[in-house]
Amino acid sequence: MTRPHSSSLALALRAFLTDYLPRQRALSPHTLHSYRDSLKLLIQFVAGKKADPGRLTMEQVTYERVMAFLLYLETGRNNQVSTRNVRLSAIRSFFRFVGAHYPEHLALAQRILSAPLKRTASREIQHLELSEIQAVLGGIDRSTHDGRRDHVLLSFLFNTGARVSEVVGLQACDLALDPPPNVRLRGKGRKERRCPLWADTAKALRAHLREHTVAPHEPRSVFLNHCGQPLTRFGVRWILRKHVRNAALRVTSLKTKRLHPHSVRHSTAIHLLRSGR
């Protein structure tokens, strides 16, 4: 039976977000949220302020309106070209799904799939030298509860080169702290890998778990915020920036660096290459 056009957009969105992305492509929750937010912004833009987004049809999401939406992101929301491209990638992924599963909308899907990405100026990913890493860790006041957490968190990041999504999702049951210590990390596409831990990192993690009365094999989050909830990626970014800013008072080379959690991952990779591993 042919699906009514008035509901095909809603049906396609539901199937795309609740089945195709999480189950067939096994995307991480963070990526799912990004896709969902991109499509939500598009639907709201196409519907306009007065119309009900729930009544929007597939035919109303035209190539011209998608291009107008992309222009609005840059001029109305002051988004960078990179953000504009991320939104377009999500839209193109959705219409690739539409073209494959809703043949009545194939022509529309092909038209929107032709929407071009914009070129962006490549920016060098900055990294931390070993002396700078030592300055950041050495400057953390471990006499406080937050300081001890921050020191373990950043030590873990520098040790493993984990993605920030892997850090905020880390649970005590992922840690194997008996010799040889290692950690199970869940990466993109829910792929798992084992990463060795330095003896000092393992020792700090044991103390951290004891302080929070967490048993090593419990399925409980390792890194928590003030409310006892798992740290968010924004929380990790804020912690890193705070301690880099403090260390920059003593190490002048840190003053000119734009650093974020991925910079730490990049730093770990560089030091592994330099050590011949």
Active site (catalytic) residues: 163, 188, 262, 265
Total Cβ atoms within 10 A of residue 62: 14
CA distance readout (Å), 142 to 23, 130, 134, 234: 42, 20, 14, 22
Q: How far apart (Å, rounded) are the C-alpha atoms in residues 20 and 250? A: 50
Angle of helix 5-15 versus helix 81-101 axis, rounded to 10:
110
Q: Is the peptide bond before 180 cis (omega within 30 degrees of 0)?
A: yes
By the 8 A CB rule, do 66 and 18 touch? Answer: no
